[in-house]
Amino acid sequence: MRDVEPNQDRETAYECFECGNIVLAADSPDKCPDCGGAMRNRHIPLE
Ligand SMILES: [Zn+2]
C-alpha cells in the first residue's frame, strides 16, 4: 500500500485506459467522460 503524499490534496491527472483521455480531478473519476472507460491515476507508477 502507498500512503497519499501530503501535497496531493489537489487535482491529480487520471488517464483513460481506453482512449487516453486525460482528466484532472481531485477525486478519482469512476469512468472516462468521453468513452466511459476505466481511469487510472497517472501519479502511480506501474512497476
Ligand atoms: Zn476514454
- Confidence label for 40 from pLDDT (cuts 50, 70 and 90): very high
Q: How far is the CA of 21 from the centre of ligand 1 (A)?
A: 5
Strand 22-25 relative to strand 12-16: parallel, antiparallel, unpaired?
antiparallel
pLDDT in tens, 2-34: 666 665 568 889 999 999 999 999 888 989 999
Angstrom distance (rounded) from CA 31 to CA 16: 8
Q: How far is the CA of 32 from the centre of ligand 1 (A)?
A: 5
Query: In the 8-state DSSP scheme, what is residue 30?
Result: S
Name 38's bridge partners. 31
Q: How far is the CA of 29 from the centre of ligand 1 (A)?
A: 11
Residue 18, C-beta contacts closer than 8 angstroms, at least 6 positions apart: 32, 35, 36, 37, 38
Q: How far is the CA of 33 from the centre of ligand 1 (A)?
A: 7
Exposure of 22 in the CB half-sphere (CA atoms within 13 A): 6
pTM of the predicted model over 0.85? no
